[in-house]
A and B are shown apart, each in its own frame.
Chain A
Amino acid sequence: MQLDQLYQEIILDHYKRPHGRGLRDADDPTDRVAEAHHVNPTCGDEVTVRVATDGVVLHDVSYDGMGCSISQASASVLHELLRGREAGEAFAVHEAFVELMSGRGQVTPDEDVLGDGVAFAGVARYPARVKCALLPWMAFKDAAARAGVGASPEVKA
């Protein structure tokens, strides 16, 4: 059934048992810490993503928010995939996730790069839900930029 493609077991798992939820202070007081708050104005979903980094490694990617299963599971997967990664690697993962979500279901995800993120392949077929999945990732990009790593801040959706 179509619905199973969207609500993959992995997504429901992350939604019901989110990993690393809650905004955290940096363990290392010398880290730069910055956050970004993004909302999806059409549905009111909200997420705040916080990045703690020494400029090379993302020591922590923490988050909080409220929203649908897709946006909240996506935040959990984001945390899982990017925490502890080198900034360059993290942005490669980010790019792969954005590419997957923009692919209208035509992109075959690489599990080595995206881990549990591959479960979102089905979401890309639901244009109304792509924004939900991308919400934490866009907030992450902003937060990272504010912490001095990665691209310039995105204009908020």
Chain B
Amino acid sequence: MSSLTIPAGMPQFDDVPRFDVAAVRADFPILDREVNGHPLVYLDSANTSHKPRQVLDVLAEHYARHNANVSRSVHTLGTEATEAYEGARAKIARFVNAPSVDEVVFTKNSTEAINLVAYAFSNASLRADADPRFRLGPGDEIVISEMEHHSNIVPWQLLAERTGATLRWFPVTDAGRLDESGLDDLVTERTKIVSLVHMSNILGTVNATARITARVREVGALLLLDCSQSVPHLPIDVVDLDADFVVFTGHKMCGPTGIGVLWGRGELLAAMPPVMGGGSMIETVTMARSTFAAPPARFEAGTPPIAEAVALGAAVDYLTGLDMRAIQWHEKELTAYALDALATVPGLRIFGPTVPVGRGGTISFALGDIHPHDVGQVLDSLGVQVRVGHHCAKPVCSRFGVPAMTRASFYLYTTTGEIDALVGGLEQVRKVFD
């Protein structure tokens, strides 16, 4: 420890909330298992996170004790299920500081949430009386970036095809940061929507969005932030972020699969046409036409993933109980440790920021010219689970001139010992292939 003294009145080192990693690990049953005869070293949380017992119990308990459909019954079970489902919505609204619970739309995942917004644009573009902010045609522009996950690229490509609008994107710098140098030329009066990743799932970069938001407001466009990788790891406040839409996905934040969230400004959701039609999203239906419920119900056609939503509520309780600032700090320390440790591995090249600033605990790298598949396979034989491949972000791989990358990603239960296991495993990889 250094003996540096932080001046009184400044935030002190000990002010940062912390938690006991060993105690956290004890909440995750899967962390006890072995893989190929070695203790599990799970470094793939950016792909999906593990689930604590507190979430698994709520999921089982819902089916065992409160199972019924929501918003459709007056009976006791129906009321309990509805209260649990709407209660989860309220928890999630609080978790991201949404001004109103009605701004939280449950979806299947981030992908569906982004597609929902893209299809709302599409549907609005077919109707002359739709809100002009959602109407797209030739000459209009959609702006994304080169560091997006495929789920924030393909829906916009398809939307551009359907409407004749043009798709444009921010480039990425050599250091793996968003290149904002062309901001004023890229985001203009022609721009209708800017959709950007908040934290890259491949480079780990956390984008500072303030300048972009200011420009988006100046030209009167809308801003969607893909927070799939940030909501699980940092305190997120949608008011503070000043976006119009924020999407995230439950399975990366200790929740189950099959549940995600679209947060949208209330006034915008109210101006959006429906996307999927069916039960629960209507006001009234005749054989000739229907009118639609207010958001969020308007965008939740059919029986939703009820137990999954309730369990996501439990996940949010779990994260809040530990304090998101503590999780953020834990991962910052791990990232600093990992960047240093990886720098000692001969021939290792990191893609993305190499300092633990403006980045999260997701680190992609190349080990000499050993193919990531081979790296991942040898690591797996040692129990170390990393992701290899293009990480659903092929343009990033192309940007850095490689077909694939190896990625280690951390979460609240990750330890420095696991990072040591990774570094030791990489030595083993070099032995097999050198």
Contacts and interface: CB of A to CB of B under 8 A. Distances in A.
B377 A44 contact: no
Given A67-B403, A69-B371, A69-B374, A43 B432 contact: no
Interface in B9-64: 36
Contact of A42 (B36, B389, B432): B389
Contact of B373 (A1, A2, A46, A129): A129
Q: Is the interface of B mostly helix, strand, loop or mixed?
A: helix
Contact of A68 (B374, B381, B390, B432): B374
Nearest to B378: A3
Given A68-B373, A132-B373, A44 B404 contact: yes
B160 interface: no
Q: Which of A2, A44, A45, A132 has the most CB of B within 10 A?
A: A44
Interface string B355-375: 000000000000000011110
A12 B378 contact: no
Nearest to B432: A7
B403 A66 contact: yes
Contact of A3 (B371, B381, B390): B381
B371 A68 contact: yes
B397 interface: yes
Contacts of B430: none
Interface string A32-75: 00000000001111100000000000000000001111101000
A67 B371 contact: yes
Interface in A86-134: 126, 129, 132
Interface in A1-30: 1-3, 6-7, 12
Q: Is the interface of A mostly helix, strand, loop or mixed?
A: mixed
B394 interface: yes
B377 A45 contact: no
B432 A3 contact: yes
Q: Which of B378, B389, B403, B432 has the most CB of A within 10 A?
A: B403
Contacts of B36: 2
B421 to A, nearest CB: 16
A7 B394 CA distance: 27
A44 B398 CA distance: 11
A49 B149 CA distance: 31
Nearest to A1: B381
B178 to A, nearest CB: 23
B388 to A, nearest CB: 7
A7 B434 CA distance: 13
A2 B381 contact: yes
A73 to B, nearest CB: 11
A42 B377 CA distance: 15
Contact of B388 (A1, A6, A7, A43): A43
Contacts of A3: 377-378, 381, 432
Nearest to A42: B389
Contacts of B390: 43-44
A1 B372 CA distance: 21
B397 A6 contact: no
A155 B404 CA distance: 24
B257 to A, nearest CB: 19
Contact of B389 (A44, A46, A69, A70): A44
Contacts of A46: 403
Interface string B384-395: 000011100010
Nearest to B375: A68
Q: Which of B373, B389, B397, B433 has the most CB of A within 10 A?
A: B373
A4 B389 CA distance: 22
Nearest to A3: B381
A69 B403 contact: no
Q: Which of B372, B374, B390, B394 has the most CB of A within 10 A?
A: B374
A126 B389 contact: no
A72 B371 CA distance: 10
B433 A44 contact: no
Interface string B122-158: 0000000000000000000000000000000000000
A119 to B, nearest CB: 15
Nearest to A16: B433
Contacts of B377: 3, 6-7, 126, 129
B312 to A, nearest CB: 28
Contacts of A12: 432-433
Given A2-B36, A44-B389, 4 more contacts: A43-B388, A43-B404, A68-B371, A126-B377
Interface of B: 36, 371-374, 377-378, 381, 388-390, 394, 397, 403-404, 432-433
Interface of A: 1-3, 6-7, 12, 42-46, 66-70, 72, 126, 129, 132
5 contacts: A1-B381, A7-B432, A43-B372, A43-B373, A67-B403
- Top 8 closest A-B pairs, CB basis? A68-B373, A44-B403, A68-B371, A3-B381, A43-B389, A44-B404, A44-B390, A69-B374
